[in-house]
Amino acid sequence: MNVYDFTVKAQDGSEVSLEHYRGKVLLIVNNATGCGFTPQYDDLQDLYEAHQADGLEILDFPCNQFAYLAPGTDDEIHTLCTGRFGITFPQFSKIDVLGENAIPLFKWLSENTTFEGFDGAMKLVLGGVVKKMDKDYKNNGNIKWNFTKFLIDREGNIVARFEPTADMKKVKAKVEELL
C-alpha cells in the first residue's frame, strides 16, 4: 500500500485520487488556522514556490481536533490561508486525523510512522498538553497536534514524519534531498 491508494475530498466536496500526484514528492500537512504554528504557512509557501517546478506538492488538510483551532468552513479557512499567507498549494476539505472519523489517508500515515518527539522551546508546553489527551503519546504514531508533516517520495512511500516543532530548515533539507 502507498499514498496513491487513497482518495481525499477537495474543498468543493469532490473526490480526488492521490494517484493524481504520482511521481511527485509530497509533503502532507494537517493544519489549523488559529494555532501558534500557523506562521509555518510562510515557510511552507516559500518551499512550494522554490520547488514546485522540481516536482514538490504540498497537500494541506485543515483539522479542528486539537484545541478547536481550525473553526470555520472550508471556504473561510481557505480565504484566511490565501489572504494572510498567500498559499497557492492545494488545500483540501476539513478532516479528522484521529479517532473513528479519521480519514483513511491519515490513519495510514499514523499507523506507518512513529512519533518523533517535540523539539525546541515548545517541547515542555506541548508535551504537557498532549499528555492530557493521550497518556501514552510517546509510544504511538497518533498525530499529536496541528502542523504534523509527512514526506512522501516519488513512488508514494512515507520517507519521514516531522512533528510541528521540527525546525523547518530540517523539513526543507529532507524535501530537497528527495527532489
Hey, what's the cell of 62?
A: 485543515
Residue 94 pLDDT: 94
51 and 175 in contact (C-beta within 8 Å)?
Answer: yes
Residue 146 pLDDT: 87
151 and 178 in contact (C-beta within 8 Å)?
Answer: yes
77 and 94 in contact (C-beta within 8 Å)?
Answer: yes
pLDDT digits (tens, 9 = 90+) for 163-179: 999 999 999 999 999 99
Residue 5 pLDDT: 98
Hey, what's the cell of 98?
A: 484521529
Both ends of the chain: CA-CA distance in Å? 22
Domain count, the chain: 1
Query: Could you give the residue numbers annotated as active site?
Result: 35
pLDDT digits (tens, 9 = 90+) for 142-168: 999 889 999 999 999 999 999 999 999
CA angle 35, 37, 41 (to 5 degrees): 105
Q: What is the mean pLDDT of the chain?
A: 92
3-state SS of the chain is CCHHHCEEEECCCCEEEHHHHCCCEEEEEEECCCCCCCCHHHHHHHHHHHHHHHCEEEEEEEECCCCCCCCCCHHHHHHHHHHHHCCCCCEECCEECCCCCECHHHHHHHHCCCCCCCCCCCHHHHHHHHHHHCCCHHHCCCCCCCCCEEEECCCCCEEEEECCCCCHHHHHHHHHHHC
Residue 176 pLDDT: 98
pLDDT digits (tens, 9 = 90+) for 25-73: 999 999 987 676 778 899 999 999 999 999 999 999 999 887 777 778 8
**Structural domain for 27, as ranges:** 3-178
pLDDT digits (tens, 9 = 90+) for 74-114: 888 888 888 888 999 999 999 999 999 999 999 999 999 99
Residue 122 pLDDT: 79
Calculate mean pLDDT across residues 1-8.
Answer: 97
pLDDT digits (tens, 9 = 90+) for 121-143: 777 788 888 888 888 888 889 99
CATH of the domain at 164: 3.40.30.10
